[in-house]
């Protein structure tokens, strides 16, 4: 792959980079205490040398998998940051030992820690992950996904060159797909994007209903109390007090509901998080409070437009027309 014109760097990994396409393996951690008959589990990825460099995954400590990690060398592994934090909190993971597969498998020495990634789709945290070299841990069922860094955008001639390079090694090898990583990630985000669009449509509809309802209620109040407003203006009521009077009845339920919603945001968010088994973040609470504030602002703006008519009521015309 590296010899193909236009290819800057090449490696391979087990991931398919599609939504929820993950693979777990039973593991043992040297020194970890587990219940009798139970074993730990982690995401497993077979990788070729320099894969983290090709995918631009930051190396937190130690080293990545390189060309020296072969069948005749000591078994090694690289772990994700969440893996290291889970099993060795507050301590360095370098030099620790893990084992994957059967209890009789050889121990692997951890030689590096890398950042967590979302190679199973945008918004799908991979979680604790163990990276092992293909050349030491290869199995017949381990899928191979070549990952390439290229100059510019993938052109048809570059894709043809990649296919020819593969077939020069094995003419019978099937090439499932040649797709830019950005396209794969965009596909994995299609469902969340659709759900977000649906929620946005309902949100805009709700705001439109609030606008229409508050506007109509305030306008009705101004028209039905036109005589009263005219009398108040005649005896010296200020325009601001007339506007406040006109909006009070229509905005009171909105503000009461907004305050109640703000107070119920925290327990409601906690309940929702427990139902869907997701972690509540501070940003979720702030977003809920922000939604309440936006609703109050929209309602106030909707009420202010017809309420301004109350400030322009002519006492003479109002009394005469009443």
167-209, pLDDT tens digit by residue? 999 998 888 778 888 787 777 777 778 888 898 898 888 888 8
Return the ∠ at Cα 256 (arms to 219 and 232), rounded to 5°. 40
- 39 or 166: which leads in pLDDT: 166
16 pLDDT tier (thresholds 50, 70, 90): confident
**pTM of the entire structure?**
0.64
313 pLDDT tier (thresholds 50, 70, 90): low
pLDDT given for residue 97 in this prediction: 95
Domain boundaries, the chain: 7-188, 190-321
The radius of gyration computed from the CA coordinates of the chain, to the nearest angstrom, equals: 32
pLDDT above 70 covers a percentage of the chain that reads 85
Residue 276, CB-side half-sphere exposure with 13 Å CA sphere: 8
Give residues with Cβ within 8 angstroms of 230, minimum separation 6. 313, 314, 315, 316, 317, 318, 319, 322
On the question of pLDDT at 59 being above 90, the answer is: yes
Residue 79 in tokens: 């772990």
Q: List, for residues 96-129, the tens digit of each pLDDT value.
A: 999 988 878 889 999 999 999 887 767 666 789 9
285 pLDDT tier (thresholds 50, 70, 90): low
pLDDT given for residue 283 in this prediction: 58
Backbone dihedral angles phi then psi of residue 172, each to the nearest 5 degrees = -90, 0
pLDDT given for residue 252 in this prediction: 79
On the question of pLDDT at 316 being above 80, the answer is: no
Which residues lie across from 132 on neighbouring strands?
46
pLDDT given for residue 138 in this prediction: 64
Average pLDDT, the chain: 81
State the average pLDDT over residues 231-242: 76
Q: List, for residues 122-159, the tens digit of each pLDDT value.
A: 766 678 999 999 888 766 666 788 899 998 888 888 88
321 pLDDT tier (thresholds 50, 70, 90): low
Give residues with Cβ within 8 angstroms of 251, minimum separation 6. 214, 218, 299, 300, 303
On the question of pLDDT at 297 being above 80, the answer is: yes
Q: At what angle do helices 239-276 and 282-311 cross, to 10 degrees?
A: 160
**87, 130 contact by CB (below 8 A):** no
Residue 35 in tokens: 């219940």
Residue 203 in tokens: 């949100």
How far is 115 from 121, CA to CA, in rounded Å?
A: 16
> Which region among 57-71, 182-196, 215-229, 269-283 has the lowest average model confidence (pLDDT)?
269-283
210 pLDDT tier (thresholds 50, 70, 90): confident
Q: At what angle do helices 282-311 and 190-224 cross, to 10 degrees?
A: 30
On the question of pLDDT at 277 being above 50, the answer is: no
**225, 282 contact by CB (below 8 A):** no
pLDDT given for residue 282 in this prediction: 53
Backbone dihedral angles phi then psi of residue 99, each to the nearest 5 degrees = -140, 140
20 pLDDT tier (thresholds 50, 70, 90): low
On the question of pLDDT at 26 being above 90, the answer is: no
């Amino acid at each position: 792959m590296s010899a193909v014109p236009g290819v800057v760097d090449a490696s391979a990994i087990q991931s398919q980079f599609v939504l929820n396409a993950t693979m777990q393996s039973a593991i043992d951690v040297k020194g970890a205490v587990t219940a009798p008959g139970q074993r730990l589990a982690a995401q497993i990825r077979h990788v070729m040398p320099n894969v983290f460099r090709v995918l631009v995954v930051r190396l937190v400590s130690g080293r990545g998998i390189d060309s020296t990690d072969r069948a005749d060398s000591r078994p090694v592994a690289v772990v994700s940051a969440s893996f290291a934090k889970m099993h060795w909190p507050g301590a360095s993971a370098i030099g620790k030992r893990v084992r994957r597969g059967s209890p009789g498998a050889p121990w692997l020495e951890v030689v590096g820690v890398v950042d967590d990634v979302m190679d199973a789709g945008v918004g799908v945290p991979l979680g604790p992950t163990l990276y092992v070299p293909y050349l030491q841990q290869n199995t017949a069922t381990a899928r191979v996904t070549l990952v390439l860094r290229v100059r510019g955008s993938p052109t048809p001639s570059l894709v043809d060159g990649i296919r020819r390079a593969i077939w020069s090694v094995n003419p019978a090898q099937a090439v499932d797909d040649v797709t830019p990583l950005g396209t794969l990630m965009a596909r994995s985000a299609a469902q969340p994007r659709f759900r977000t669009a649906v929620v946005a449509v309902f949100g805009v509809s709700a705001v439109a209903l609030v606008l229409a309802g508050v506007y109509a209620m305030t306008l009705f109040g101004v028209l039905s109390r036109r005589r009263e407003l005219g009398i108040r203006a005649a005896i010296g009521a200020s325009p601001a007090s007339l506007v406040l009077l006109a909006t009070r009845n229509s905005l009171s339920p909105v503000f009461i509901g907004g305050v109640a919603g703000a107070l119920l945001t925290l327990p409601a968010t906690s309940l929702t998080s427990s139902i869907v088994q997701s972690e509540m973040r501070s940003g979720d609470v702030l977003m809920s409070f922000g939604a309440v504030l936006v609703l109050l602002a929209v309602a106030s703006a909707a009420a202010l437009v017809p309420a301004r008519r109350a400030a322009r009521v002519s006492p003479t015309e109002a009394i005469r027309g009443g």
